[in-house]
Amino acid sequence: MAEAAEIRPLARTDDRSGFSCGQADLDRFFEHYAGPNQFKLHLAVTYVAVVGGQVVGFATVAASSLERKHVPDAQRRRRFPGYPLPVLRLARLGVDARAQGNGVGTALLRHVFRLAVDQRDALGCVGVVTDAKTHAVGFYDRLGFVPLEGVLEGLLAGEPVPMFLPIDVIAAAT
């Protein structure tokens, strides 16, 4: 990356109208829903990556839960009780097409990992989950995410792949 991105929470004044990551649904979400979801409904918080005063990427996170039966790895699954497990959900991730390939997506993920460790310490958190678009599975895979247990069999072609990264793996890397 030519200039390191500053990563901070979305501000009401951030201009989101010119952002384009190449996925219309993500651009629409960022322009129209990220603000109300954060400032009015308190459903989620969006973090933006800023380079040279321009927003070049965003990651939206929310507190969520995961059923034990979906935790990958039988040994890990056995350690957990049978009620919903606290996780941090990476709900949306996008990097402007003009800034892709410069490490911005990875920097946003590293920030999300630090949030997950903070959540672990403040509220409990067993990992990060995300629904990976099929073309982005490789991006998450290289960071250690694995598909949730028992979901691949039920997926239709092109449907997002639910993926998980355990908190101990995250903590060891942060």
Ligand X SMILES: CC(C)(COP(=O)(O)OP(=O)(O)OC[C@H]1O[C@@H](n2cnc3c(N)ncnc32)[C@H](O)[C@@H]1OP(=O)(O)O)[C@@H](O)C(=O)NCCC(=O)NCCS
Residues that bind ligand X (CB under 6 A): 21-23, 26, 93-95, 100-106, 132-133, 135-136, 138-139, 142
Closer CB to ligand X, 18 or 22, in the complex: 22
Residue with the CB atom nearest ligand X in the bound state: 105
Max distance between CA atoms of the chain, in angstroms, equals 48
Closer CB to ligand X, 23 or 54, in the complex: 23
- Token pair for 51: 């380079």
- DSSP-assigned states of every residue in 30-64: IIIIHHHHHHTS-S-EEEEEEETTEEEEEEEEEEE
Closer CB to ligand X, 4 or 123, in the complex: 4
Task: Name the minimum Å distance from CB 69 to ligand X.
Answer: 23
**8 Å CB contact between 48 and 5:** no
Residue position matching structure tokens 């995300």: 130
Task: Name the minimum Å distance from CB 75 to ligand X.
Answer: 28
